[in-house]
Amino acid sequence: MGTLVVFKLLGSLALLMFGMKSMSEALQKMAGPQLRHVLGAMTTNRFTGMLTGTFVTAAVQSSTATTLMTVSFVNAGLLTLAQAISVIMGANIGTTLTAWIMSVGMSFDISNLAFPAFFVGIILIYQKHYRYIGDFLFGLAFLIFALATLRTTGQDMHLGENQAVLDFFASFDPNSFTTTLIFLLLGGVLTFCAQSSAAVMAITMILCSSGALPIYQGIALVMGENIGTTVTSNLAAMSANTQARRAALAHLLFNVFGVIWILFVFRPFVDMVCGLVGYDVAMDKMEVGAEAFLANTAKLSFVLAAFHTCFNVVNTAILIWFIPQIERFVCWFINPKKVDDEEDFRLHFITSGIMKTPELSVLEAQKEITNFCIRIQKMFGMVRELLTEKDEKKFNKMYSRIEKYEGISDSMELEIAKYLDEVSDAHLSDDTKAKIRAMLREISEIESIGDACYNMARTISRKYQGKQDHFTEEQYEHIHQMMELTDQALTHMNQFMGGRKEAFDIDRTKNTTKNIENEINNYRNQLKAQNIVDINNHEYTYAVGTIYMDLINECEKLGDYVVNVVEARMGTRQRIA
């Protein structure tokens, strides 16, 4: 019987974690884009940032998701790190809603609500337009069922009457500061091991509500959970970019500072929270009787939720005035090394170690593709410099840089494609699946632009190394004009790729792209005809004319690839070969 109860407890915790994960992912699928826009628009100062973080986290039931969205905005330059820190502070308040939901589930029998949610959820899952609502209801039903099972399992375990358990907790001096530190450390370790503060909070509520664990030790466990969850995010951020590591460190500092100051006012603060909830700390079971004592202990789950909220609200109220100082400290502590751009093969935004939410992973991948486009235009700029370089040493150095960029281009295509392939294995919305297909097409076309740039560099090098005759002034002028048109196409592509698709007039963007492409095609045809005339008139040799037209044709191909990238981003299927 004891073994069965333990498995019921573990199974209920697993169901609780799964239900919360399902709820969070469904909510992000339903409202993810809108919440991202809210996050970007409302964080004008530290106070609106804090309120926005609270709202978004309460909506999606995931402080991790809010933090990741915030970091992605910082990387994109849409938010400052200071604004991101204020959002993370708000996320800490928003995540306390989870504790209140759990306290209600632990205090009342709400198991009957799970079955209608399961029934309605399964119907909606098979309806194409409402399946995310169905996913949410299924997650909610699992959560309710898990909480109800945890409640009955806690009662079946009779922990408040188990002498061995009571003796174990009684062995710790409730008035000792060391006891508080031990349980604080235990809460952090358990949260780190379980990778879920919700699971540890549920165990704490069971122990406290049964009367086995004194409230002061229970509160210490909750404080430890706050530290444990930030340690997890900091370890995950170690492989991430600089801003992600800074945001994770700011989150850790926020919670560590809160734990430090509350240790100085621990007893008075806990007693205040108990007074707000109506829990009598001094009640003795022998004096008032079992029934009154159990009615009092039933309030303990609400005490834990109230403490969690009060702690984070007060901590935010203190630290929100010191955000600039926190920002300066994390920037000083995590100071990125200066890395030569050509040697930096790392992806800047995609961080497989920290990304847990597929919908948000797609957003990060889009940022990486935008960065890919910027690199490719820089590579084209090097080709333009190579064309006019006369010094052999500088020429060879520039050509080597272009070769490195070609390698980076190939690596970026493969890494982004691999990442998108991993993301596509998750349960995604139809819109997100379509975005992934478009992104795979985008990176293929962008890599083709890199190939075209490298082909042009090799053509220029072949001319330089072969000691061919120089181009005529007219040829140089024509090549520069063609390259200028091509660079305009790349600039237009980058402007479109770097912004929100909804912010652009699709028809106008399509027409602008087509106009530049038509101008490039017409100019290529004009130069092709003129080239034959000039060779016949012995203006230059056939060999020089061939190299000249190779460069012109590569520019024209590059323009076609640009059109394909823009078409893919707009979601149309047309492809120019």
| Complete DSSP assignment for 414-463 | HHHHHHHHHHHTS---HHHHHHHHHHHHHHHHHHHHHHHHHHHHHHHHHH
107 and 198 assigned to the same domain: yes
Question: What value does the mean pLDDT take over residues 131-147?
Answer: 82
| Whole-number pLDDT of residue 290 | 61
Residues 121 and 218 in one domain: yes
| pLDDT higher than threshold 60 for residue 354 | no
Burial (CB count <10 Å: 0-12, 13-18, 19+), residue 421: exposed
pLDDT of residue 504: 61
Give mean pLDDT, residues 337-359.
54
My answer on whether 326 and 403 are in the same domain is no
* Domain contains 576: no
| DSSP-assigned states of every residue in 171-227 | TS-TT-HHHHHHHHHHHHHHHHHHT-HHHHHHHHHHHHHTTSS-HHHHHHHHHHHHH
pLDDT per position as a tens digit, 251-261 = 888 888 888 88
Handedness of CA 421, 423, 427, 431 (dihedral sign): negative
Q: Model confidence at 561, in pLDDT bands (50, 70, 90)? A: very high
Judged against a pLDDT cut of 80, whether residue 2 lies above it is answered with no
HSE (side-chain half, CA atoms, 13 Å) at 149: 20
Lowest mean pLDDT among 102-116, 119-133, 279-293: 279-293
Tell me the pLDDT band of 234, cut-offs 50, 70 and 90.
confident
pLDDT of residue 294: 66
Q: Do residues 372 and 304 both lie within one domain?
A: no
Do residues 288 and 362 share a domain? no
Mean pLDDT of 68-79: 66
**Residues 373, 520 within the same domain:** yes
How many structural domains compose the chain? 2
Say if residue 369 is in the same domain as residue 249: no
**Residue 302 falls inside a structural domain:** yes
DSSP letter string, 3-41: HHHHHHHHHHHHHHHHHHHHHHHHHHHHHHHHHHHHHHH
Taking the CB of residue 203, how many other CB atoms lie within 10 A of it? Answer: 19
For the record, the structure tokens of 413 come out as 């295509």
- What is the rounded average pLDDT for all residues in the chain? 79
Q: How confident is the model at residue 383 (pLDDT cuts 50, 70, 90)?
A: very high
Highest mean pLDDT of the ranges 134-143, 287-296, 561-570: 561-570
Which pLDDT band, with edges at 50, 70 and 90, does 487 fall under? Answer: very high
- 364 and 256, same structural domain? no
- Which one of 218-232, 287-301, 513-527 scores highest in mean pLDDT? 513-527
C-alpha 382/C-alpha 401 separation (Å) is 8
Q: What is the phi/psi pair of residue 390, to 5°? A: -105, -30
pLDDT at residue 343 greater than cutoff 70:
no
Inter-residue contact 228 to 187 (CB < 8 Å) = yes
Q: Residue 158 above 80 pLDDT? A: no
- Cα 418–chain centre separation: 17
**166 in the same domain as 115:** yes
Confidence band of 342 (pLDDT split at 50, 70, 90): very low
Asked whether the predicted pLDDT for residue 572 surpasses 60, the reply is no
- For residue 435, what are the domain limits? 343-570
Same domain, 181 and 322: yes
What pLDDT sits at residue 334?
A: 83
**8-28 residues labelled b (16+ CB within 10 A) or e (exposed):** bbeebbebbbebbbbbbbbbb
The pLDDT score that the predictor gives to residue 137 is: 85
Supply the pLDDT for residue 144.
80
CB distance 116 to 7 below 8 Å? no
Examine the domain organization and report whether 381 and 314 are in the same domain.
no
Contacts of 168 (CB under 8 A, 6+ apart): none
Task: State pLDDT tens for residues 29-70.
Answer: 776 556 666 666 665 677 888 888 888 777 776 676 677 667
Instruction: CATH number of the domain at 483, please.
Output: 1.20.58.220
DSSP 337: P
What average pLDDT does this structure show over 87-103? Answer: 83
Whether residue 171 is contained in a domain is answered as: yes
**d(Cα 105, Cα 117) in Å, to the nearest integer?**
15
28 neighbors 69 (Cβ within 8 angstroms) = no
Choosing from 305, 333, 361, the residue where a domain stops is 333
Of 281, 312, 333, which marks where a domain is finished?
Answer: 333
From residue 172, alpha-carbon distances to 163, 166, 178, 205 in Å are 15, 10, 9, 19
Question: Does residue 21 have a pLDDT over 50?
Answer: yes
Is the residue at 182 inside a domain?
yes
Query: Quick one: which H or E segment has residue 248?
Result: helix 242-264
Per-residue model confidence (pLDDT) at position 557: 92
User: Is 15 inside any structural domain?
Assistant: yes
- Statement to judge: residues 306 and 408 lie in one domain: no
Interior angle at CA 303, CA 322 and CA 159, nearest 5: 130
Domain boundary among 333, 363, 383: 333
Answer with the residue of higher pLDDT: 429 or 374: 374
Half-sphere exposure of 4 (CA within 13 A, CB side): 2
The arithmetic mean of pLDDT across residues 191-211, rounded, is 75
Residue 575 falls inside a structural domain:
no
Residue 161: strand, helix, or coil: helix
pTM of the predicted protein model: 0.64
Q: Determine the pLDDT at residue 184.
A: 86
Residue 378 pLDDT grade (very low, low, confident, very high; cuts 50, 70, 90) = very high
pLDDT at 526: 93
Task: Quickly tell me which residue has 């949260």 as its tokens.
Answer: 191
| 517 assigned to some structural domain | yes
Residue 577 inside a domain? The answer is no
